[in-house]
Amino acid sequence: MKGKTISEAVIRRLPRYFRYLEELAEKGVERIPSSRIASALRVTASQVRQDLCSFGGFGQQGLGYNVEMLKNEIADILGLTRSYNMIIVGFGNVGAALAGYMGFSKEAFIFKAAFDIDTDKVVPEGLKLYSIDKIEDYLANNQIDIAVICTPKAAAQSVAERLVAAGITKIWNFAPIELDLPENITLENTNMSASLYMLTYSRR
């Protein structure tokens, strides 16, 4: 299926493949068959092959896939080969957790600054904390790719509007509210509850 555009469904699975391949690479695994990827991720081997084939087919019949090669290919598709400057707005528990989170690569995602009402909070080495009033100033003088909203629900919409007005086009929202923003803004919501509800919902 080379040359075709990669479908939404495939893209959504890429982060999982990527993370698993990172794990394998760390362990020094060099090659892996689709069947093992499948069982680790609880999907079918056919799906893994179909997915991987949709952007090129890097496997080798009889052998499996080259872990390093596949990992790099996926990183490239996901845009992880460059770096992104980020700011966090609202430095409460969630903001602090993100700033300290070890799950994403430190090279690709650079937390430049955090903004909060309380500027006396303790922040990790290297991160600067400013008053939330300074957002516009800061954005006028610094090139920022992604803004993360971790404010309480009540503040989220107005903060989002200010960010957009200041030129931000990619927003990662952790506030538990549906933001109403222009179509051209790329908005990703991380609804922590959603995943939890899948545990309380009992299938069948």
Q: Which amino acid is at 42?
A: R
64 binds, among a second copy, DNA, none (CB under 5 to 8 A by kind): DNA
**In whole angstroms, what separates CA 44 from the centre of its chain?**
24
Please, what is the minimum distance in Å from the beta carbon of residue 140 to DNA? 38
Q: Judging by beta carbons within 10 Å of its beta carbon (0-12, 13-18, 19+), is residue 31 exposed, middle or buried? A: middle
Helices (H), the chain: 8-27, 34-41, 45-53, 67-77, 93-100, 135-141, 153-165, 192-200
Alpha carbons 177 and 131: distance in angstroms, whole number = 23
Q: Does 8 sit near DNA (CB under 7 A)?
A: yes
Q: Which does 186 bind (CB under 5 to 8 A by kind): a second copy, DNA, none?
A: a second copy
User: CA-CA distance, 139 to 169, in Å (whole number)?
Assistant: 12
25 or 45: CB nearest DNA = 45
In the sheet where 31-32 sits, what is the strand order?
Answer: 31-32, 64-66, 59-60
Q: In angstroms, rounded to a whole number, what is the distance separating the alpha carbons of residues 191 and 20?
A: 23
Residue with Cβ nearer a second copy (24 or 135): 24
The least CB distance from residue 175 to a second copy, in Å, is 8
Q: Which does 57 bind (CB under 5 to 8 A by kind): a second copy, DNA, none?
A: DNA
- Give 41 or 166: the residue with its C-beta nearer to a second copy: 41
Q: Does 7 bind DNA (CB under 7 A)?
A: yes
- Residue from 26, 28, 42, 61 touching DNA (CB under 7 A): that is 61
Residue listed under structure tokens 């090139």? 143
- Which residues, numbered 27-46, are part of the site for DNA (CB under 7 A)? 32-35, 43-46
- How many whole angstroms separate alpha carbon 77 and alpha carbon 51? 13
Binding of residue 130 to DNA (CB under 7 A): no
59 interacts with DNA by CB under 7 A: yes
Q: Which two tokens stand for residue 74?
A: 């996926």
Q: Under the rule (CB under 8 A), what is the footprint of a second copy?
A: 11-12, 14-16, 18-20, 23, 40-41, 77-80, 84, 92-94, 96-104, 108-109, 146, 152-153, 170, 172, 176-178, 180, 186, 188-202
What is the contact surface with DNA in residues (CB under 7 A)? 1-2, 7-10, 32-35, 43-47, 49-50, 52-53, 57-65
